Amino acid sequence: MRFSDNFKIALEALFAHPTRTLLSLLGVIIGVFAVTTLISLGEMATYGIQHSLEQLAGRSIYIQPQFKPGVEPVRFDADLLRVLRVLPVQPIPYVLSSATAADRRGRLVSLDLVGTVGNLPALDASVELARGRFFNRREAEQGLPVAVINAKAESTFFGEGRGLGRELILNVSDGARIRTVVVGVVRPAGGFFGGFESERVTVPYALLWERMPRKKGRFDIIELKVEPGADLKEVEKRTRRLLELRYGKDRVNVQSVQAFQQALTGITVGLQALLGGIGALSLLVGGIGIMNIMLVSVTERTREIGLRKALGATSAQVRAQFLMEAVLLTLSGGLIGVVLAAAVLYLVVLTVPFFEAFILSPLTVALALGVSAAVGLFFGVWPASQAASLDPIEALRYE
Amino acid sequence: MKPVVEMQEVKKVYRSGSRRRQVEVRALDGVSLLITEGEFVSIMGPSGSGKSTLLHVMGLLDRPTSGRYLLAGEDVTTLEDEDAARMRNRRIGFVFQAFFLMPRYSALRNVELPLVYRGLTEAERRRRASRALAEVGLADRMDHLPSELSGGQKQRVAIARALVQEPALLLADEPTGNLDSESGREILALFERLHEAGKTLVVVTHEREIAERGRRILHMRDGRLVNDEVLG
C-alpha cells in the first residue's frame, strides 16, 4: 500500500464527520495552544526583563557592605573611592535614605532619597534629564541644597511640568528638615522597571552627610561602571580581591547584573517548565479524547474494516490506516493550536507594553507539532490494534 | 483441467461454552472436493448446513481445523493471517449479498479498492477498474455513488470489484438475496457470461432456480457434502 493512499484514506475519514473531528480536536488544540503560548510568553518575559536590565545597568558591578548580626558593617568612605580607581571602572557612590514630603494637598508622601556625586548624566547614560540641570561636582562636594527629582515625584509634589525652581522640604529621620530647591527633572527609566518607579529625589551626597549625622562620611552602595573593553567577569574578580584585602573575607557584597541575569534565567526556565507541564496535562486529556473518538470510529466502521480485510488488506495495513488517522487528527489539532497561539501572542505584544518583542521560536513550534503527532501515535495505538485484530467474518456480519 | 479448489477431509470445529461443559459444533465435518478451472458450481443446503463456513474456508477468511486445502495448486491450509490477506487480494474475488460498497466512494473508486492494497499507482488502478466496470456494463456509471445506483447496478459494481483482482476463484454468497427478481436475473445472466468467458465461479444459494444456472450443484447437510449433482 502506498503512503499517499494511506494519507488520502485517512484524510477522507476525517472529513466524513467534520463537526465530530473538530470537536474531538478541541482537547489537542487547547493543549497545544496552552503549551505554545505559555512557553513563548516565558521567553518573551525573559527577553523583556533582561533587555530592561541591560538598559538600566548593563555593565555594572554593585558593592555593598555585608550585614551580619552582631558585626559592625564596614564603612565605604571617600578613601575607598580613590582606591577603586586602580580598577578600570567609574565608581558612582550613593547614600540611600528615605524621607517624606508634603504633596500638593499637604499630605505626607514617602519618597526615596538618594545622595550622589555631581554631574551624574555624564557618568551614567541611563540618567537623562527632561528639564533643568543636574547639580555639578562642586555643589555635590559642598552639599548645597539642590535637588533633582524624577517625573513621578514632580507630578506628586508639584504637578506635571511645574517642579523646576520650586522648594521641596524633605523630612528625614530624627525630625530633621532639609529645604532644597528643584534644579532638574529626570526622565523615567525605560523598559520593564520604568513602570514601577516611585518618587525619587536625588541630592548632593554631602548634603545628606551634613544633615543626617548617622550617614556622615559613608556611602551605602557604590556602583562600578566597568569601562568599555574591559572584561566584566575579570573586573568583578579583581574587585572581590581588592575588597577582601581592604576589609577581610565576606565583609562586602559584590554583585553584577550578569549574576542577576543568570538567576533570572534559571527562574524563568523553571517557570516555563511548570507552565509547559500544565499545558502538557491538557494535551494528555486531549489525547484521551482522541483515543475515545478513534475507538468509536473503529466500532462504527467495523463493516468497512471487514470489507477491506476481505478484499486483501493485511492487519498491518489496517493498523497503519487508523494510526495515520489518529496522527493526522492530532497533528492538525497541533497546527490549529500553534496558529491560535501565534495570533494571541501577537495581540499580547501589540497591547501589553511589557512584552516588547514577538517570540515564537521554531523550536517551540517543532516541539508543539512533534508532541501532538506523538500524542496521536500513542493514543492511536490501541484503537488501531482493535481495528487490525477484527475477524473479517465477524466484522462483515456486524450490523 | 487445472484444479482450482482441492479439499481433502476438511473439518471446521467451533468450541464454545465453559471448560467443563464444552459444546462442539462441527460446521464442516470432513469435506472433500475438487473444483477445476472454468467450473460454475453452486452450493445449496438449509441454513446451518455449513455452506457459509465452506465458502469462508474456500475464500481464506477462515482456516480449517484439520484436513488439507490447496488453492490453485498451492497449499493454503495453514497460512498466517497476513499471507492469507495477500492471497485473498490476488486469488479470491468476493461478491456479498449486501454488496458492501463504500458509500462515499464512486463506483470507480469502489472497484479500485482491492488494488490499493497491492500498492498500484492511481493511474494503473483507474485503468484496470474502468475496464472491469465496462465488463459488467457500467462504463457510463463510473462516477456515480452507490446511493445513485439501483440494486442490480450496485451488485454489478461489486462484481467488477471482484473481477478487477483477476482472481482464480470468484465466490458469491447469496448474490441475488437483496435484489428483486428482475435485477436478480440480470446478475445471473452476468454470471453466465463470466462462466462462458472461462471464470471459475462458486455461488452459495438456497434457491434451486438460481443454483440451476450453474453446471454443478453441491448439496450440504450437517457439515457434509451429501450430493454432488452434475447438471446436463
Question: Using CB atoms, which residue from B62, B89, B119 is nearest to A311?
Answer: B89
Q: pLDDT tens digits, residue range A284-294?
A: 888 888 898 89
Are the Cβ atoms of B81 and A314 closer than 8 angstroms? yes
Task: Break chain A into its structural domains and give their ranges.
Answer: 3-53+262-396, 75-250
CB contact under 8 A, A311 and B81: no
**What is the spatial distance between Cα A337 and Cα A30, in angstroms, rounded to a whole number?**
6
Nearest residue in chain B measured CA to CA from A391:
B61
ipTM score assigned to the predicted complex: 0.93
| pLDDT greater than 90 at residue B224 | yes
pTM score = 0.70
Which residues numbered 329-358 in A keep a CB inside 8 Å of some CB on B? Answer: none
Residue B13 has pLDDT above 80, yes or no: yes
pLDDT of residue A194: 54
Minimal Cα distance from A309: which residue of B? B85
Q: What is the enclosing helix (H) or strand (E) of A246?
A: helix A232-247
B116/chain A closest Cα distance in angstroms: 6
pLDDT score of A262 = 73
- Nearest by CB to residue B100, choosing from A5, A12, A396, is A396
Best to test chain B binding among A314, A319, A389, A394 (most B CBs inside 10 Å): A314
Q: Provide, as residue numbers in chain A, all residues whose Cβ is less than 8 Å from the Cβ of B111.
A: none
Closest CA to B177 of B47, B67, B54: B47
With CB atoms and an 8 Å threshold, state whether A393 touches B116: no
For residue B104, the chain A residues in CB contact (below 8 A) are 12, 16
Spell out which residues of chain A touch residue B161, defining contact as CB-CB under 8 Å: 311
Task: Using DSSP, state whether A73 is helix, strand or coil.
Answer: coil
Q: Angle at the Cα of B63 (from B60 to B68), degrees rounded to 5?
A: 95
**Rounded mean pLDDT, B209-223:** 90
- pLDDT value for A55: 62
Contact in structure between B27 and B12 (CB atoms under 8 Å): yes
Average pLDDT over residues B52-80: 93
Q: Cell 478484499 belongs to which residue?
A: A311
Q: What is the spatial distance between Cα B8 and Cα B50, in angstroms, rounded to a whole number?
A: 16
| Interface contact flag, A396 B102, Cβ < 8 Å | no
A231 CB-near residues (< 8 Å, 6+ apart): none
- Secondary structure class of B27 (helix, strand, coil): strand
Question: How high is the pLDDT of residue A58?
Answer: 66
Query: What was the pLDDT predicted at A222?
Result: 92
The dihedral sign for the CA sequence B119, B93, A9, A285: negative
Choose the closest CB to A312 out of B85, B102, B121.
Answer: B85
CB atoms B113 and A308 under 8 Å: yes
Residues of B in contact with A303 (CB under 8 A): 100
C-alpha angle with apex A361: A373 to A265, nearest 5 degrees?
115
- Is A397 an interface residue toward B (CB < 8 Å)? no
Distance between B9 CA and the closest CA of chain A, angstroms: 22
Residue A57 has pLDDT above 90, yes or no: no
Cell 472433500, located at residue: B32
Name residue, grid cell 477462515. B62
pLDDT band for position A175 (cuts 50, 70, 90)? confident
Rg (CA), chain B: 18
Q: CA A369 to CA A288: how far, in whole Å?
A: 17
Residue A190 has what pLDDT? 56
Q: Residue A310: which of B88, B118, B119 has the nearest Cβ?
A: B88
Chain B contact present for A319, CB below 8 A: no
- pLDDT confidence of residue A50: 72
pLDDT digits (tens, 9 = 90+) for A357-377: 888 889 889 988 998 999 999
Percent of chain A scored above 90 by pLDDT?
42
**Cβ within 8 Å of residue A186, ≥6 positions away:** A127, A128, A129, A130, A148, A149, A150, A151, A202
Return mean pLDDT, chain B.
92
Torsion angles phi and psi, residue B9, rounded to 5: 45, 45
Q: CA A222 to CA A224: how far, in whole Å?
A: 6
- Residues A215-272 pLDDT 10s: 888 999 999 888 877 888 888 889 999 999 998 888 898 888 776 777 777 777 788 7
